[in-house]
Structure 1
């Protein structure tokens, strides 16, 4: 009798405990948070010069924190300054030529052309008088026919010479052609643009930090030849930072870009950093087989990047981090 009573009491306890667990599960919905574990991503900038020259000085070392706009390195500028001087002289010459063509002939040039026309007219008049004199004499056979012909030819040449000089004067009075002015202006602008290019090359001889960053690698040293294809530094961006983590197939349906997240780090217990889901890969990684069974689908993972604000530079690049995504 006692044994039956004990067994009945035990069964009652089991039923009550099972009912409580069932009731508790019905009362408390499962957690709506997605927890991920990742690392602070290395966002790097390969900082290089835009011109090819010899490296003159390097002002920062590895591990040093630099602010945006800080001078990092500098090139030798002797040849760059000489190129700029040549370009400036060419631009000055082109400007003077443009002004010359634009302003047209000087008054002295016009006066000289007028005098040439008057001289040509005087020579023509003299040739005409001589022709008129030689023709009657030729008929009287006082002079030869050849001399008369020469006088006639000289008069014609003198008349043509007057026409040439008059046209030269007309050209001076008309001024420069519009095409010549535009051509001279274009040559001046081209020389001025070349001067600006040389000035920009000289300005590019100084390398500045493009953002707040940490000098991760100092690749070149003073005396090395640099080019746009050879970075001088590798800079790691400080803010904003990315957390690289991975979603499972089951979690993928709960998370979408733009959702808020909380990021924590073991080095700062109790402190939470605000984050946002910025990117979710559309390609699964670590696929075990070409044909996935329902059991293997859960092994697929998708890269996700969480953008986290870290103005105090608390997170170290590559450090582990915990991400809690508020799905609800």
Structure 2
């Protein structure tokens, strides 16, 4: 008989303790102030940064996505062609700059020296003819026209010699600094265009910034889209927040860091959260907060970050926030 009585007494004690805890919890919940609000989950409207034709959409509405996962692609053939052209221009201007830095080839300088030597020899010959004609014309041995012809030939030879010497000096001096600066600037412009072409090609791929769930799918393969147009809307999984409102008399109870309990109509157990921030401005209670005493009151908005979300909280869901202690 004693063996039977002991378990019965233990069960009675446990039942009494559970009833007392439930009664105290219910009374505490009833006595603690309630703040009404809605679930506020961030949404991201994703779109391409470039215009083009949609090649494929990899996700449907309701599909889960992970950070960095590819969601959609544009037809990238025009962008690849632009990238190839930019790479070719960089190669062309790089070769030109390298040519200017290396200067003139030794063969070109040697050729200029030989041209100068030949022009000096021709000048010497025309000088001798000119001087001989000059002596003879003074003696009346040659015609004045022959002297004029020799004089013209001498001056022409002198000009050709000076031109050949200037050409050799220019080759030996090498490339001017201004030419190098110009070539470097042109190459820099080509490299910037190449970087832009690579960025544009990368922008034909649409990826998920964070983990979430696809809410809407706005385009289909084959559609032409403009830059910035929304292709997919993704609801982010974290953080899950509550946008609630507190009247001015209770504002002192709501402070950043305060632990709170978040109650919904979908499950009996509350969620646990923490007050994140409190708005410094008063505002009229939105119509979504359906409480008679707060419908026309001025309240202060505050946000609660839910720590133990189980995936059942949805955007706009009405909730009741109560202080934990």
1:216 aligns with 2:215: yes
Indicate the residue corresponding to 1:119 in structure 2: 118
Q: Equivalent residue for 1:301?
A: 299
Displacement of 1:41 = 1.1
Q: Provide, for residues 76-110 of structure 1, a one-character-per-residue CA deviation record: whole Å limited to 9, x for no partner.
A: 01111111111111111111111111111111111
Aligned twin of 1:104: 103
Query: How has the CA–CA distance of structure 1 residues 307 and 257 changed in structure 2, closer, same or farther, with 3 Å as cutoff?
Result: same
CA gap 1:34/1:158 in 2 versus in 1, 3 angstroms: farther
- The answer (yes or no) to whether the contact 1:51–1:205 under 8 Å persists in 2 is yes
The alignment of Structure 1 onto Structure 2 pairs a total of residues equal to 292
How big is each residue's C-alpha offset from its partner over 1:12-36, in whole Å with a ceiling of 9 and x where there is no partner? Answer: xxxxxxxxxxxxxxxxxxx995431
Pairing 1:62–2:57 present: no
Q: RMSD value over aligned CA atoms?
A: 2.6
**Structure 1 partner of 2:6:** none
Q: Distance in 2 between matches of 1:236 and 1:82?
A: 35
- Do 1:250 and 1:298's aligned partners in 2 also have CA atoms closer than 8 Å? no
How high is the TM-score relative to the length of structure 2?
A: 0.82
Match of residue 155 from structure 1: 154
* 1:6 aligned residue: none
* 1:232-247 correspondence to structure 2 within 5 Å: 232-247=231-246
- Verify the 8 A CA contact 1:38 1:320 in the aligned structure 2: yes
Matched residue of 1:44: which SS?
strand
| Residues 228 and 256 of structure 1, relative CA distance in 2, 3 Å threshold | farther
Following superposition of structure 1 onto structure 2, how do residues 1-328 of structure 1 map, counting pairs within 5 Å?
33-280=32-279, 282-286=281-285, 299-310=297-308, 312-326=310-324
Q: CA deviation at 1:271?
A: 4.8
Contact 2:271–2:308 under 8 Å retained in 1: no
Runs of 4+ in 1 over 6 A off after TM superposition: 295-298
Pick closer, same or farther for the CA change 1:131–1:150 going to 2, 3 Å. Answer: same
For residues 83 and 217 of structure 2, the distance between their equivalents in structure 1, rounded to whole angstroms, comes to 30
Q: Which 10-residue stretch deviates more, 96-105 or 150-159?
A: 150-159
- Partner SS state of residue 191, structure 2: helix
Alpha-carbon distance between aligned partners in 2 of 1:99 and 1:296, rounded to the nearest angstrom: 76
2:282–2:298 contact (8 Å) kept in structure 1: no
Following superposition, the deviation at residue 310 of structure 1 comes to 4.5
Which stretch shifts more, 82-91 or 274-283? 274-283
Change (3 A) 1:319 1:242: same
Alpha-carbon distance, 1:182 to partner: 1.8
